[in-house]
Each structure stands twice: as structure tokens, then as C-alpha cells.
């Protein structure tokens, strides 16, 4: 089992207060390392509208490289505007994953639309930054990765990676809207696509990670990195019903692969779990692992999928 040492909560959006679009939630952290700071992208929400519905925006906070608990700067506005009427990202840009492409920064994100029979649908958009990741411009008004015969809805949670001369997108695809007490709840699984240019994608078209809890297990946040000759994935997973509390809520899982295509799941190795009390006592989710100055860290979300922000853990010993 890996030994993650929880260092505590890094960012609590409820303590900010002076940005109308940043009221609560700081979801799906994703890092970009600079010389003297680490930029952490996250997704947040203004208060809900009169019907109780939320929009999501994505932004960043810069943390001092030599002390990740010290905020150096906080974005003054979201990195992207919501889409126009009828567009796939009209009601939310969440989550976002970034990567350097030469001097540019590329972002892939989930764009949210609202539906009548189910609450929402999501497709994956792309944007490019020419100023080091402060502002982005969308590559188009539509999605870069969308629905297909065996990925019918909810393409979300993109994580962009580059291995060798190929781009890879790890993401989730919906497989079922399950009625739980009359309310549709989405079931989704981890998938992958690859590309030579980051624009035209080839889906491999099957689940990467087998289910463990139940047939309708939902999986998210496939965070993949290469280390010591193997690919490692931390992700999160939950049950399909009553998952908004401690019992059935998100936990962090782990899988390993030699070739990116075939993965061996072994959650017992993940080495991080909910706390007995406090901000991450009900659920932990959306892991993001990164290296900094010779150490390995994980950002992750706590209760209510990041409503109260994200925290940091440090790997002790070897992976």
C-alpha cells in the first residue's frame, strides 16, 4: 500500500468572498508547475439560481512553490466564458485539464448543457492559451470529443496527457441514467482516446477499469502518470445510489498498466481514505498526482465533491 501523508486542506473557496463566480466548490484540481509557483486549476460555482440550479466556471490559484499552503495569486476572472445559447458548454465549464504545448497551454474541459428528461449532458471542449495559462480561447463553439454509438452521453472529466509522440485523453463516458427513487442518476466509466494533433481523436471504445463495488459503479477522474516503467492511475469511484453521503460516496482507487490499454485494478494499494472527521470525512475524490522538487503529491477533494475545497497529501516512500 502506498503511504500518503495528508497535509491538510489547501484551498477553501468559502473563504474567498470577493468574486461573484467563486462562491463555493473548488473541484477537480489540476496543476501546471512554474519556476516559483504551482498553478492549480479548479472549477467553482456562484450561488445557484432561483430554481436551485448551478453553473460552473473554471479558474486557477497560484500556490508558492516552496509552500503550497500559501496563495500567491488568485484568478480575477474565469479562464473561459460559458458558451452561447444552445452550445454544449452553455451552463458549465467543469472540470478542466491543462498541459503545456511548446510555449502554449492547452486545456480540455467538460462543457455542460441542461436537458429536459435528465438534468444535464456533458461533452469535451478544448481551448488554447498564449499567455502561460492565464486566459484561454476556445478552439471552436462545439466540442472536440463528443458522443458516439457506445458512448451515448456524459463525456466528461478529461485528463490530457502526452506520452511519446501521441496525445492521450482519459475521460469518462456515461453508460446509463439510472432511476433512483424517481431521480435520474448517471453511471459512467473511464475511457481513453488518442490523437496525433490533439484535435482529431480515436476512441478505443471500451472501459479501462473494471467495476468493483457493483455493476453500476461510477468512476471518475482518471489521473494517469508514468513512473518506473509503468503507467499508474489514481481515480475515484462510487456506488450508483445514495452516494452523496459517507457510506456510498466517492473513494480513491488505483490501477497499473504496462501499455495504457490493459489495466490492473488494485484499490487496496491506493493508500488514502476518508478521515474520521473534518472536511474530508465523508468522501475523497478527484485525485490529481504530480511531482514537485523530487516529491510526489496528490491534490484531492473532500466532502460534497469539493464544496469546501481541496487538500494535499504527500507520498512517503516509494510508489
Partner 1 sequence: MRHPAAPQLRWRKLGKIFDPARFELPNNCEQFAQSPQALVFDSLVRIYFSSRERDSSNGKYLSHVCFADFTKDFRHVIRVTDRSVIDLGKLGCFDEHGIFPMNILRHGGRIYGYTCGWSRRTSVSVETSVGLAVSDDDGLTFRRIGEGPILTSSLREPFLVGDAFVRVHGDQFHMWYIFGTAWKRPAAGGAPERTYKIGHAVSRDGFAWEKEEARQIIADRLDLEESQALPTVARIGDRYHMIFCYRQSTDFRENKGRGYRLGHAWSRDLTNWTRDDVGVGIDVSAEGWDSDMLCYPNLFECDGRTYLLYNGNEFGRHGFGIAVLE
Residue 197 within binding range of partner 1, rule CB under 8 A: no
Nearest CA to 61 out of 35, 43, 80, 41 is that of 41
Residue 195 within binding range of partner 1, rule CB under 8 A: no
Residue 57 within binding range of partner 1, rule CB under 8 A: no
CB 248 to partner 1: min, Å: 21
Pairwise CA distance, residues 315 & 319, whole Å: 8
Contacts of 15 (CB under 8 A, 6+ apart): none
Contacts of 292 (CB under 8 A, 6+ apart): 33, 38, 65, 68
In this chain, which of 3, 66, 77, 150 binds partner 1, going by CB under 8 A?
Answer: 150
| Cell triple for 131 | 499567455
Residue 142 within binding range of partner 1, rule CB under 8 A: yes
Q: Are 194 and 166 in contact (CB under 8 A)?
A: yes
Residue 115 within binding range of partner 1, rule CB under 8 A: yes
In this chain, which of 31, 56, 97, 121 binds partner 1, going by CB under 8 A?
Answer: 121
Tally the residues of the chain.
319
The region of 109-117, 190-198, 232-240, 291-299 touching partner 1 under the rule CB under 8 A is 109-117
Distances (CA, A) of 76 to 60, 91, 134, 291, 310: 9, 20, 10, 27, 19
CB 252 to partner 1: min, Å: 27
CB 176 to partner 1: min, Å: 8
* Sites of contact with partner 1 (CB under 8 A): 83-88, 90-91, 113-118, 121, 123, 126, 139-144, 146-153, 174, 177, 179, 184, 186, 199
Amino acid at each position: 500500500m502506498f503511504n500518503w501523508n495528508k497535509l491538510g486542506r489547501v484551498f477553501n473557496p468559502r473563504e474567498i468572498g470577493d468574486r461573484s463566480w467563486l462562491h463555493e466548490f473548488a473541484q477537480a484540481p489540476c496543476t501546471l508547475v512554474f519556476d516559483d509557483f504551482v498553478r492549480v486549476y479548479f472549477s467553482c460555482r456562484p450561488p445557484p439560481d432561483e430554481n436551485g440550479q448551478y453553473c460552473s466556471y473554471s479558474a486557477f490559484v497560484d500556490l508558492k512553490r516552496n509552500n503550497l499552503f500559501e496563495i500567491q495569486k488568485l484568478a480575477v476572472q474565469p479562464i473561459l466564458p460559458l458558451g452561447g445559447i444552445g452550445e454544449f458548454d452553455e451552463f458549465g465549464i467543469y472540470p478542466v485539464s491543462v498541459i503545456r504545448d511548446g510555449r502554449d497551454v492547452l486545456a480540455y474541459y467538460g462543457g455542460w448543457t441542461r436537458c429536459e428528461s435528465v438534468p444535464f449532458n456533458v461533452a469535451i471542449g478544448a481551448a488554447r492559451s498564449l499567455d502561460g495559462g492565464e486566459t484561454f480561447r476556445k478552439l471552436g463553439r462545439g466540442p472536440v470529443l463528443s458522443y458516439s454509438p457506445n458512448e451515448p452521453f456524459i463525456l466528461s472529466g478529461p485528463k490530457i496527457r502526452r506520452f511519446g509522440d501521441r496525445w492521450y485523453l482519459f475521460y469518462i463516458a456515461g453508460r446509463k441514467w439510472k432511476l433512483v427513487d424517481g431521480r435520474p442518476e448517471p453511471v459512467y466509466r473511464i475511457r481513453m482516446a488518442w490523437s496525433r494533433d490533439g484535435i482529431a481523436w480515436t476512441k478505443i471504445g471500451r472501459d479501462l477499469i473494471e467495476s468493483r463495488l457493483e455493476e453500476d459503479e461510477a468512476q471518475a477522474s482518471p489521473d494517469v502518470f508514468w513512473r518506473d516503467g509503468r503507467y499508474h492511475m489514481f481515480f475515484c469511484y462510487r456506488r450508483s445510489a445514495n452516494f452523496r453521503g459517507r457510506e456510498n460516496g466517492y473513494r480513491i482507487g488505483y490501477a497499473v498498466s504496462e501499455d495504457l490499454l490493459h489495466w490492473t485494478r488494485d484499490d487496496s494499494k491506493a493508500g488514502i481514505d476518508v478521515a474520521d472527521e473534518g472536511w474530508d470525512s465523508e468522501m475523497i475524490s478527484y485525485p490529481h498526482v504530480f511531482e514537485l522538487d523530487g516529491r510526489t503529491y496528490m491534490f484531492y477533494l473532500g466532502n460534497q465533491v469539493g464544496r469546501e475545497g481541496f487538500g494535499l497529501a504527500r507520498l512517503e516512500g516509494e510508489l
